[in-house]
Copies of this chain bind each other. A is one copy, B any other.
Amino acid sequence: MVNETQHTCSASSTSKSDGGSSSGSESSKDSSRCSTPVLDADRHERLREKMRRRQDSGDKWFSLEFFPPRTANAAVNLISRFDRMGVGGPLFIDVTWHPAGDPGSDKETSSMIIANTAVNYCGLETILHMTCCNQTKDDITGHLQKAKRLGLKNIMALRGDPAGEEWEEEVDGFNYAVDLVKHIRNEFDDYFDICVAGYPTGHPEAESYEADLRHLKEKVFAGADFIITQLFFRSETFLKFMKDCQAIGITCPIIPGIFPIQGYHSLRQLVKLSKLEVPQEIKDVIEPIKDNDAAIRNYGVELAVSMCRELLDSGMVHGLHFYTLNREVATTEVLKRLGIWKEDPRRPLPWAVSAHPKRRVEDVRPIFWASRPKSYIYRTQEWDDFPNGRWGNSSSPAFGELKDYYLFYLKSKSPREELLKMWGEELTGEESVFEVFTCYITGEPNKNGHKVTCMPWNDDPLATETNLLKEQLEKVNRRGILTINSQPNINGKPSTDPIVGWGPSGGYVFQKAYLEFFTSSEIVTALLKVLKKYELRVNYHIVNVKGQNITNAPDLQPNAVTWGIFPGREIIQPTVVDPVSFLSWKDEAFALWIEQWAKLYEEESPSRMIIQYIHDNYYLVNLVDNDFPLENCLWQVVDDTFELLN
Contacts and interface: CB of A to CB of B under 8 A. Distances in A.
Given A1-B525, A567-B626, A626-B506, A392 B22 contact: no
Contact of A395 (B2, B17, B31): B31
A532 interface: no
Interface stretch (A171-179, A264-272, A547-555): A547-555
B2 A550 contact: yes
A570 B580 contact: no
Interface stretch (A6-14, A57-65, A204-212, A429-437): A6-14
Contact of A4 (B1, B19, B549): B549
B380 A17 contact: no
Contacts of A37: 390, 392, 557
A566 B565 CA distance: 16
Contacts of A33: 392-396, 580
A501 to B, nearest CB: 15
Nearest to A535: B567
A375 interface: no
A587 interface: yes
A34 B553 CA distance: 14
- Majority DSSP secondary structure for residues of A touching B: loop
Given A24-B398, A506-B536, A506-B626, A34 B1 contact: no
Contact of A21 (B16, B401, B573): B401
Interface in A385-402: 385, 388-401
Interface string A399-416: 111000000000000000
A20 B389 contact: no
Contacts of A92: none
Contacts of A571: 390, 560, 563, 571, 573
A36 to B, nearest CB: 7
A390 B17 contact: no
Given A5-B551, A559-B569, 4 more contacts: A1-B524, A9-B555, A539-B567, A553-B568
Closest 5 CB pairs of A and B: A23-B382, A567-B626, A24-B383, A28-B395, A20-B584
Interface of A: 1-5, 7-9, 13-14, 16-38, 380-385, 388-401, 491-492, 506, 508, 510, 524-525, 528, 536-537, 539, 544, 547-560, 563, 565-571, 573, 576, 579-581, 583-584, 587, 624, 626, 628-629
